[in-house]
Amino acid sequence: MSTRVRMLGVQLAWYALLSGQVCRATADPSDSLKVGTIHWSTCTGDGVVPGAECGFAVVPLDYFNASAGVAQIALGRYNATSPHRKGSVFLNPGGPGAPGVSLATFSGPDFQQIIGEEYDIIGFDPRGIGETKPATQCYSSPAARQAFIANTVLDRGYDVAPDVTDEFNRYHLIQTQRDADGLYKSQFEICNETMGEQIRYMGTSTVVRDIDFITTLLDGEDALINFYGLSYGSAIGQYLVNMLPDRVGHVVIDGILDAVAWSSVPSYKWERHWQIYTDDVYKLFMSECAKAGPSQCALSKHANETGADVLARVEAFVNNLYYEPLAVPDATLPGILTNGRARLYILGALISPTSWPSAASDIAQALVGNGTAMLNAVNEKDTKDLERSAVSCNDAAPFAPPTPQVVIDEQLYDLEHVSRFSLAVVTSEPDAGCQFWPVTPPERFEGPWNRTLKNPMLIISNTLDPATPLTSGQLAQERQGNASARLLVQDGPGHTSLALPSVCKAAAVRAYFDNGTLPAVGTVCPVDASPFPSAANTTALLVNDQQLLTSLTRIIDVLFG
């Protein structure tokens, strides 16, 4: 595990999938860009598994206007290795904004261990993302985007006083929110000037149309859609089963984003319901550190201290940064470690429990005056462009622009009653400012969200997910109904059930894709690894289970490493 902790919130380290490793099809001849054509070729780039294919499918740019032109959806495929092929399974790693081609081209064999060798594993870059065309390119380069946000609230986050009820804290945050609103408006005006109408085609409803269209190209007219979506990918899954209920084959969603709130509630109101376990995960991080002791966790000082002791030291440091930011002259981009940046760093660590040992080391260095590792990590945020905003704002229902005071008062409630990381999410998950979005998508799905399915879907949630809580999984299951959905709970921390491996969970997914078998109502699966591993907490497994665990561990390394 790298000592770097990727900053991503719900985006998570999915962005790391294609970092420096790009799988591309060969150049596409213009005379082959006809709707309904699909092109495959050998992938290029490090890390590609033998036999993987890269390509693109040509689909309508606008499914309601044939004259609008075409889009090219980037694809990766790892073919079924069993002669008894059952079709294709589309994978999405989340975001929105995360490319998915590499889920097939880097991790196809490992996903087959979980899904089944009878399926082709299909990774794809959704509209406006990765290698898919048209790309979301509002700025001339990533450097231009970085220059726009450098040292603004979009870069360094919100600095929050230790006493969130202090009136000066409210005044300061309102001023910061005014800056944020101005930046949102400016960046979307830039995007409108550079891309125009092209940015209206990046929404989730259009992604579902693409999956439907490409399934037919790959598997035939009568083929059902199989899908496995993580994090934001769970929103795609909820859109899919409710937009096209008769097309549903096997659909698994994991790490559940509340699709109803996503599509109908302004983003500044999300944290009250979505961060209900974030501080619990933070406390667990510290208690697991204390339990592991100084030999395994750099934040632990002696064998007999409690998690509360470790938490108190870290919180005292983070709170003091509000008054005295830490000078960091040796970072790749020298600067200061602020209260807001420290919160961003820690939030990124909470999402991936396998990062806790290295994160503890980074924080421990900062506590003694060396914030280099923490600042480098938060400076490695994605600056590819406004890919995430293009999705979330096209999905968002129109709403009256809230005043900075209204936004901050909501956040102050959340900071006091829900999570101390409430405002960190606003920066790490850039979904805000959609009141300034300049275009209207050709389609925006608004429900209903309770369609009856002939083939029930499988919903998976962690007990302690800091970004997409178990309550969202329960809501999704309740909306679909017991006949159309089954909820499987994994008893562990982290974002999505892939944050820590569980053979029980993986076996349930395998059984579901094998023949539609659903886990028993109320099933809770344990995890088979600890954030601070030792010989004492190693699980004894059968040979087949060990193979599953190995594949799960490799997938975690790709997604979170």
Q: Summarize pLDDT for 55-76 with one digit per residue, the tens.
A: 999 999 999 999 999 999 999 9
Q: Where residue 381 falls among pLDDT bands split at 50, 70, 90? A: low
Mean pLDDT of 73-100: 96
**Distance (Å) of CA 554 to CA 228, 354, 383, 548, 559:** 17, 12, 26, 10, 9
- DSSP assignment of 40-62 equals EEE--STTPPTT-EEEEEEEES-
Task: Give residue 553's pLDDT.
Answer: 85
Query: By mean pLDDT, which of 24-38, 291-305, 447-461, 542-556 is the weakest?
Result: 24-38
149-199 per-position pLDDT tens digit: 999 999 999 999 999 999 999 999 999 999 999 999 999 999 999 999 999
- Cα separation of 119 and 99, whole Å? 21
Q: Which of 524, 523, 459, 451 is nearest to 486 (CA)?
A: 459
Q: Is the per-residue pLDDT at 543 higher than 70?
A: no
Between the alpha carbon of residue 316 and those of residues 307, 311, 319, 369, the distances in Å are 14, 8, 5, 14
Instruction: Give the global pTM.
Output: 0.93
Q: Return the sign of the alpha-carbon dihedral for residues 321, 325, 328, 331.
A: positive
pLDDT score at 559: 81
Q: Is the pLDDT of residue 8 over 60?
A: no
* 474 φ/ψ angles, rounded to the nearest 5 degrees: -65, -40
CA distance 284 to 353: 10
DSSP annotation of 197: G
Angle at 507 (CA atoms; ends 458, 546), nearest 5 degrees: 150
Residue 508 pLDDT greater than 70, yes or no = yes
State the sign of the Cα–Cα–Cα–Cα dihedral 188, 190, 193, 198: negative
Confidence (pLDDT) at 561: 64
Average pLDDT on 225-229 reads 98
- 1 CB contacts (<8 Å, ≥6 apart)? 354, 355, 357, 358, 557, 560, 561
C-alpha to C-alpha distance for 187 and 158, rounded to whole angstroms: 19
Res 282 pLDDT > 50? yes
- DSSP H helical ranges for 120-254: 142-149, 153-156, 167-195, 204-219, 232-243
Q: Say how far apart CA 258 and CA 56 lie, in whole Å.
A: 30
CA 207 from chain center: how many Å? 16
* Tokens read off for 497: 């059930």
Q: Is 74 within 8 Å of 128 (Cβ atoms)?
A: no
**Across the chain, what does the average pLDDT equal?**
92
Is the pLDDT confidence value at 9 over 60? no
What does the pLDDT read at residue 22? 44
> Band of the pLDDT at 546, cuts 50, 70, 90?
confident
* pLDDT value, residue 13: 37
pLDDT attached to residue 32: 76
Residue pLDDT, tens place only, 22-36? 444 444 455 578 999
Say yes or no to pLDDT of 533 above 90: no
Q: Quick one: pLDDT at residue 26? A: 45
Query: Is the pLDDT confidence value at 539 over 60?
Result: no
CATH number of 37-135+222-264+446-560: 3.40.50.1820
Confidence at residue 18, expressed as pLDDT on a 0 to 100 scale: 40
pLDDT in tens, 103-125: 999 999 999 999 999 999 999 99
535 has a pLDDT exceeding 70:
no
Q: What is the pLDDT of residue 383?
A: 59
**Residue-wise burial string across 394-419, b where 16 or more C-beta atoms lie within 10 A, e elsewhere:** bbbeeeeebebebbbbbbbebbeebb
- Mean predicted confidence (pLDDT) in 334-361: 97
Q: What is the pLDDT of residues 433-442, one digit of tens each?
A: 999 999 999 9
How far apart CA 258 and CA 274 sit, in angstroms, is 8
